[in-house]
Amino acid sequence: MKVALIGLGSVGRGVAEMLAKKDLGLTITGIADSKSAFMDPAGIDISRILANKKKNGSCGDQHLTAEDVIKKADYDALIEVTPTNALSGEPAIGYIRAALSRKKHVVTSNKGPIALAAKELRAMAKKKGVALRYEATVAGAIPVMHTLEHGLAGNEILALYGVLNGTCNFILTRMAAEGLTYEQALMEAREMGYAEADPTYDVQGIDAAIKLVILANTIWDNGVKLSDVDRTGIDLLTPDALRLADEEGCTIRLIAEANPKKHLLRVSPRILEKNHPLVNDGTLNALTFETDMAKEITLIGRGAGSIETASAIIGDLLYIRDHYVQRA
């Protein structure tokens, strides 16, 4: 199967490296970053492109753009891994529309288009007879969407609870373990590369809320928006709050939760017993589904990272290969 890769940052590089390393029958025929692009219908030499990108910051021809690749390259599936814009969803929404209109399958790790325009994009994909898959948008490497689609098929999902932001989990882990202030733990998270220079999206619960919106709309198709989420971040938590929780055998985690029957859609710091399945240290993510038949199912794993996120994207690509391309 031929794929085009738009975005060659942390995730795009991870995907390219894994496709070059593993013999999965997936050939990259188009590639683009913010300033350049490259196309070869016979397959691109990924090692050369990655070396080029590392050396001079460009992945190919500066006269070509991502739009050129999406609109002209020879591919079956587009891999869209450009930065998330949670306000407009662009340029990703435009890229995805352009690929779908050419009857190309789309795999994305980008939360913006899925949180803002999933209904429209899913309808467009259905009309064109192609797939739109977005496993990597929620909880990185954890196969959340595959579990919902296959492992829990036939179950009614009653509610979900999750730790969906690794940066907050790291900060809370460090505050509890060492009695650090929020500011000290944030500084450590930055030094470890777990927090952005501007950590607002993470620490104010916006990133977790966007993922909660994606999950709720995927499971219940209830048209919820980011503004519907009742949201409190971790940036006002004090070491005293964590110490008091500790005295009761508990700790604090930023929990995203949804239960449509209770009209619950919330991200907030919650006190949990230390042996609760959602209490995991460091940057781990965890997600519990409450279902009618399987009862409670908890998934735990890495919520971010170059290769970890590539795992989710490649899972989606292989699903498309096996269920659409090889059957065509």
Ligand X SMILES: NC(=O)c1ccc[n+]([C@@H]2O[C@H](COP(=O)([O-])OP(=O)(O)OC[C@H]3O[C@@H](n4cnc5c(N)ncnc54)[C@H](OP(=O)(O)O)[C@@H]3O)[C@@H](O)[C@H]2O)c1
Q: How many CA atoms lie within 13 A of 314 on its CB side?
A: 25
Is 109 an interacting residue with respect to ligand X (CB under 6 A)?
yes
**Cβ closer to ligand X: 66 or 107?**
66
Verify whether residue 21 is a known catalytic residue. Answer: no
With CB under 6 A as the contact rule, the residue among 27, 34, 232, 259 that binds ligand X is: 34
Is 169 an interacting residue with respect to ligand X (CB under 6 A)?
no
- Does residue 145 contact residue 134 with C-beta atoms inside 8 Å? yes
Catalytic residue among 211, 225, 262, 295: 211
Which residues 6+ apart lie within 8 Å of 195 measured at CB?
Answer: 167, 170, 171, 186, 189, 202, 203
**CA pair distance 109, 143, nearest whole angstrom:** 13
Closest distance to ligand X from the beta carbon of 218 (Å): 16
Is 81 an interacting residue with respect to ligand X (CB under 6 A)?
yes
Is 269 an interacting residue with respect to ligand X (CB under 6 A)?
no
Three-class SS state of 153: coil
With CB under 6 A as the contact rule, the residue among 46, 60, 73, 82 that binds ligand X is: 82
With CB under 6 A as the contact rule, the residue among 16, 66, 132, 212 that binds ligand X is: 66
With CB under 6 A as the contact rule, the residue among 2, 105, 111, 276 that binds ligand X is: 111
Q: Which stretch binds ligand X (CB under 6 A): 109-117, 150-158, 167-175, 186-194?
A: 109-117
Tokens of 199: 């950590």
Is 311 an interacting residue with respect to ligand X (CB under 6 A)?
no
What binding mask, one character per residue, do residues 123-142 give for ligand X by CB under 6 A, x or -?
A: -------------x---x--
**CA pair distance 122, 119, nearest whole angstrom:** 5
Q: Which stretch binds ligand X (CB under 6 A): 6-14, 263-271, 292-300, 318-326?
A: 6-14
Closest distance to ligand X from the beta carbon of 284 (Å): 13
Burial of 65 (0-12, 13-18, 19+ CB in 10 A): middle
Closest distance to ligand X from the beta carbon of 297 (Å): 22
Q: How many CA atoms lie within 13 A of 9 on its CB side?
A: 12
Report the residue closest to ligand X, judged by CB: 9
User: Residues 83 to 102: which contact ligand X by CB under 6 A?
Assistant: 83-84, 91
**H or E element, residue 4:** strand 2-6
**CA pair distance 303, 296, nearest whole angstrom:** 20
- Does residue 278 contact residue 163 with C-beta atoms inside 8 Å? yes
What's the alpha-carbon Rg for the chain, to the nearest Å? 20
**Cβ closer to ligand X: 21 or 54?**
54
**Cβ closer to ligand X: 108 or 291?**
108
Closest distance to ligand X from the beta carbon of 80 (Å): 8
For tokens 């971790």, the residue is: 234
**H or E element, residue 46:** helix 46-56
For tokens 């970890």, the residue is: 308
Q: Closest by alpha carbon to 106, among 91, 115, 95?
A: 95
Closest distance to ligand X from the beta carbon of 256 (Å): 15
Binding residues for ligand X, how many (CB under 6 A)? 25
Q: Closest by alpha carbon to 143, among 29, 278, 289?
A: 289
**Cβ closer to ligand X: 31 or 252?**
31
With CB under 6 A as the contact rule, the residue among 1, 3, 11, 320 that binds ligand X is: 11
Backbone angles phi, psi at 4, to 5 degrees: -115, 135
Binding site for ligand X (CB under 6 A): 6-12, 32-35, 66, 81-84, 91, 109-111, 136, 140, 304-305, 309
The catalytic site residues sit at 211
